A and B are shown apart, each in its own frame.
Chain A
Amino acid sequence: MNHFPHGWGRPRDDIYGPYDHTYLSHSQSSGPNQHTQQPAVTGTSVLAAKFKDGVVIAADNLASYGSLARFTDVKRLHKFGEHAILGIGGDVSDMQYISRILNELDIDENYGSTGNTLNAKNLHTYLSKVMYARRTKINPLWNAILVAGLDGVGRPFLSSVDLLGTTFSSPTLATGYGSYLAQPLLRKLAETEDEVANVTREKAEKAVREALKVLFYRDARSLDRFSIAVVTKQGIELMEDEQLEGQSWAFADRIKGYGTQVN
């Protein structure tokens, strides 16, 4: 008895012979056609938080190759137009591809006499279609993206889209490892949309920087150099070479693997 359900209902090999894979034009010897199965060079978490006049977004400057800290000056925040910015985690080459299609989109938009009028909300809608279309081809762009900025009526906008094309919005958002470690911390800032009205830029920026620090303590694929941006009606303020301040590793010497200890 064949106990594997995927074998049931198929012609029996002892009567019809084994399935002839040469009929699959793609894969005479290598089996079914395959696309990306896993990311290669990756960026870790992206964090963002709304405040009453805008949005703060941040991501560290590391691109890892497995556990190797491969590139340490990688900018993962990308501006789009005057009032939108996106932070990208996951596969770095897919991120670069996204950056290029957005550059092309910006060029096309500027051909019109009013310039690029796509706002952060439009951008998020567009990206969600791109991501979903790719996952439907079973060839996803291996990323988790946060889109921050202002919507069509100038209100703060923050939303996410991932490699499956899933979209999600909340006053604070974090991708990757940050969704476990940082998001609970950021929620203290504002748990509901109504609470955003009480959040100042200073409070939001401080909470995001603190959350980045927590991630640096606990996420082995993170870095203490990062980029952070603030989007308001005045435009985008992007700082790309920030350093985590006030670190304390006093807790660490009691933990296996820290520093030069070997046991």
Chain B
Amino acid sequence: MTSIGTGYDLSNSVFSPDGRNFQVEYATKAVENGGTSIGIRCKDGVVLAVEKLVTSKLLKPGANKRIATVDRNVGIAFSGLIPDGRHFVSRARDEASSWRDTYKQPIPVSSLADRMGSYVQAYTLYNSVRPFGITAIIGGWDSEQDLPVDGQVGSGPKTGTGGKVAGTKSGGPGLYMIEPSGLYWGYYGAATGKGRQAAKAELEKLDLASGSLSLHEGVKEAARIIHVAHDDNKDKEFELEMTWVSSLDGPTKGRHEFVPEKLLVEAERLAKRYMEGDEDEEEDENMES
């Protein structure tokens, strides 16, 4: 960053002569100092996981959740400035609510990502605000079935198709990552925060694009990857926090929830064993929750 000190980096919404917005880049630095967050898009659901650095012994263990739910079927994990993340989540909930007001349906994950992308981008446009110091991972499940509209009280005509077309496929998993610039992409596997490089390397090994990884495998991989990503700054303690959302016939019935204690403990046990170099383990104990 040779342009530091030239004055173009002192205010948001200002371009430098070579076309950069430094304040947005600095906001990204805040993200890179935060604990790692990842998301994995599996064939039958999405897993989110964060490395929650324990900054004080006095913190209540297991409290202070970092992954938030939006509506019922979407989760948001983020790295960076936590209060900014909470603001982001609060806005996402407002977006989901206003979507329901208009369409009487839950917001599709792609639309939520789009709206939040626009919101974050707006904070790069004015010198009266600063950009968000977070990168957020939005993961969710759009219902694969025709949901009743909100407030529906009957089931419609008993004969005919009622306008429905048989055999159409819709819904499925969605995973998006939004950066401080407002830029967002859809992902098979997303990682941000301090350990993102290591996490990305691990995610790339999983061949997620083939769509073969199951949600249960995804949970274990996510736990392992967070442990791998943490390796570089072993000195600090951390808590692993994981959430998932499955298809309607899956374990969470289309809802975004915390991974059940039993599965979390098991996934973490396997992750720790992996970290100890015991890589040739076969997971015989098939943990289905």
Contact = CB atoms under 8 A, between A and B. Distances in A.
Interface of A: 63, 71, 73-76, 92, 95-97, 99-100, 103-104, 107-108, 110-111, 113
B72 A107 contact: yes
A104 B100 contact: yes
30 contacts: A63-B153, A63-B154, A71-B154, A73-B154, A73-B155, A74-B154, A75-B153, A92-B153, A95-B153, A96-B151, A97-B151, A99-B151, A100-B100, A100-B104, A100-B150, A100-B151, A103-B100, A103-B150, A103-B151, A104-B97, A104-B100, A107-B72, A107-B96, A108-B93, A110-B69, A111-B68, A111-B69, A111-B93, A113-B63, A113-B65
B84 interface: no
B25 interface: no
Place the interface of chain B in its size category.
10 to 19
Interface string B91-134: 00100110010001000000000000000000000000000000
Nearest to B104: A100
Nearest to B258: A113
A12 to B, nearest CB: 50
Contacts of B63: 113
A102 to B, nearest CB: 10
Contacts of B96: 107
B202 interface: no
Nearest to B156: A73
B153 A99 contact: yes
Nearest to A93: B151
Contacts of A95: 151, 153
Contacts of A107: 71-72, 96-97
Interface string B33-71: 000000000000000000000000000000101001101
SS class, residues of chain B in contact with chain A: loop
Interface in B72-95: 72, 93
Interface of B: 63, 65, 68-69, 71-72, 93, 96-97, 100, 104, 150-155
A188 B237 CA distance: 66
A113 B243 CA distance: 13
B80 to A, nearest CB: 21
A75 B63 CA distance: 39
Contacts of B69: 110-111
A173 to B, nearest CB: 21
B153 A96 contact: yes
Contacts of B155: 73
A71 B93 CA distance: 34
Contacts of B71: 107
Given A76-B153, A100-B150, 17 more contacts: A63-B153, A63-B154, A73-B155, A74-B153, A74-B154, A75-B154, A92-B153, A96-B151, A97-B151, A99-B151, A100-B151, A103-B150, A103-B151, A108-B93, A110-B72, A113-B63, A113-B65
B257 to A, nearest CB: 10
A107 B104 CA distance: 14
A97 B100 CA distance: 12
User: Top 10 nearest A-B pairs by Cβ distance?
Assistant: A96-B151, A73-B154, A100-B151, A99-B151, A74-B153, A100-B150, A74-B154, A75-B153, A71-B154, A73-B155
A46 to B, nearest CB: 14
Q: By CB atoms of chain A within 10 A, which of B69, B96, B154 has the most?
A: B154
Nearest to B158: A73
B61 to A, nearest CB: 14
Nearest to B68: A111
Contacts of B100: 100, 103-104
Contacts of B93: 108, 111
Contacts of A111: 68-69, 93
Q: By CB atoms of chain A within 10 A, which of B63, B104, B150, B153 has the most?
A: B153
A232 to B, nearest CB: 24
B144 to A, nearest CB: 20
A230 to B, nearest CB: 20
A99 B97 contact: no
A74 B72 CA distance: 25
B72 A99 contact: no
Contacts of A96: 151-153
A111 B90 CA distance: 10
Contacts of B72: 107, 110
A95 B153 CA distance: 9
